[in-house]
Structure 1
Amino acid sequence: MPHLICPPAGTASTGLGVGLGIPGHAHPLDAPLEWARLAGPGAPVHWAVLDVDGGPGTRPDPHCAEAAGRLRTAGVRVLGHLDLHQGARTFGDLLSEAHRYLDWYRVDGFFLDRCPGERSVLFEVHRIVTALRAFLAPGHIVLGHGTHPYPGYAETADQLVTFSGPWSDYRWSQVAEWTADHPPERFCHLVHGVPRGHLEEALRIARWQGAGTIWFTDRTPRGGDPDPWAAMPGYWDDIISRLGTGVSE
């Protein structure tokens, strides 16, 4: 299978350390069970994205603040959602949203969604990340490219989302060779439409491709449910169990 070609050194043999990155759930009032489970014991959640209203919103939301506080108490990083619109957002608008996230929700970092990956805009993304880090101590920055960017982005943030999309693409995906120069904790894969029967295969792909953070769900973006990340996958307990025990290589 293509994903087994040239695996990053050391990632296929250990099968350890893979955890969850939550790209965002529905509002805590609409998905109280989801937010409660993220803070539950035994859930290996590396971080969870707080998206109030396409960003921090226009005023503090007490329900979101409470949900964020529970996650931090449970040791889960809470990341504010900043949409770069493939580089179309202004520097000032992004910093204004970042300030609101920090003031209202005390976030631990930021998820830069729809981050461009071309070499030509690397300097501007680096400028944004440098400004965000000035607000954090030290904080966690994830660049949501959704595909393999120019390799220089790996030196800019703590993690890169190098895959975001459907299982039909992920199962035949290939890892970029340059990722082998970095440890698995630098990369994240977000995959929707993963059938329960293929969950172990999906986890094996993530390990072979060197992704230390993943989010797999059986939900798909169609019909009246355009956001596949809005709720838990139907096999939440199963994936927690598998991450705790590992899968055969």
Structure 2
Amino acid sequence: MRPLTSAVVPAYFHPAVAPDDWRRLAAGGARARLVVLNLAAGPGPGPDGEFRAVVDPLVSAGVPVAGYLDTAYGERAPEEVRQDALRYRRWYGVDRVFLDRVRSDRAALPHYHRTVALLRDDGVGEVALNPGVYPDPGYAELADLVVTFEGPWRSYRRLVVPAWAHCLPAHRFCHLVYATPRIAQRWVRRAAGRRHVGALTTTELDGANPWRRLPASWRGRS
């Protein structure tokens, strides 16, 4: 079984709501493969000083931080996504991106190829895609990291990994598992290792935004 050495942390919480979670991120940033900054399904309408105050220490410490970009399953134009990425860079000094709500079918590949090409032309340092499922293999060629599962623990138990994924390094894949009871946490970690995944984040939280706080393991209650 491959060891899991890192975590992708969807930090979908405001510093005013969960200041301690941001302090824990700064203290434990070496555990993070990527911290995903999400203000309002994107960079928001303007700079937020409270976010800047918590992101600066992470960036200065070398913790990889990515700006969350909603692709609306291919409905947003590549140039619109590009502009949001530029705002993250100007306002927060973040030059990595996390593209969410990504389609997984082969027909949408040209659209995402154009989007990623624009981002890389602008000097984006790392591109993560989140279709939340195993997509057409062409998506893995576009990205540095692909989230190939995002969902509840009960669904994770039935996950089947396609053969093509085993031909790429495990560190190219991430699983995000929520609604995981404490007694199942260890099983999920072992299963992720067997499934050729290099980054895993699992949380006990559920609901519309299971990433509204750090997982209990980051809060010292695992």
Gaps of 5+ in 1: 1-11, 240-249
Q: CA deviation at 1:75?
A: 2.2
Output aligned runs, 1:189-200, within 5 Å.
189-200=175-186
- The answer as to whether partners of 2:14 and 2:51 remain within 8 angstroms in 1 is yes
Q: Distance in 2 between matches of 1:165 and 1:59?
A: 31
SS in 2 for 1:58: coil
Verify: 1:129 aligned to 2:116, yes or no: yes
SS in 1 for 2:215: coil
Verify: 1:184 aligned to 2:170, yes or no: yes
Q: TM-score, normalised by structure 1?
A: 0.85
Q: Distance in 1 between matches of 2:74 and 2:176?
A: 21
Q: CA deviation at 1:130?
A: 1.2
Q: Distance in 2 between matches of 1:145 and 1:56?
A: 20
**Cα deviation digits, residues 4-34 of structure 1 (max 9, x gap):** xxxxxxxx2x42x521101233111111111
Equivalent position of 2:216 in the other structure: 234
Verify: 1:37 aligned to 2:43, yes or no: no
Q: TM-score, normalised by structure 2?
A: 0.94
CA RMSD of superposed structures (Å)? 1.5
SS in 1 for 2:11: coil
Equivalent position of 1:144 in the other structure: 130
Q: Distance in 1 between matches of 2:145 and 2:19?
A: 28
- The answer as to whether partners of 1:142 and 1:158 remain within 8 angstroms in 2 is yes
Verify: 1:218 aligned to 2:204, yes or no: yes
Give the number of equivalent residue pairs. Answer: 221
Q: Distance in 1 between matches of 2:86 and 2:142?
A: 20
Gaps of 5+ in 2: none
One-letter amino acid of the counterpart of residue 163, structure 1: F
Q: CA deviation at 1:213?
A: 1.1
- The answer as to whether partners of 1:45 and 1:76 remain within 8 angstroms in 2 is yes
Verify: 1:56 aligned to 2:38, yes or no: no
SS in 2 for 1:235: coil
Q: Structure 1 runs of 4+ off > 4 angstroms?
A: none
One-letter amino acid of the counterpart of residue 116, structure 1: R
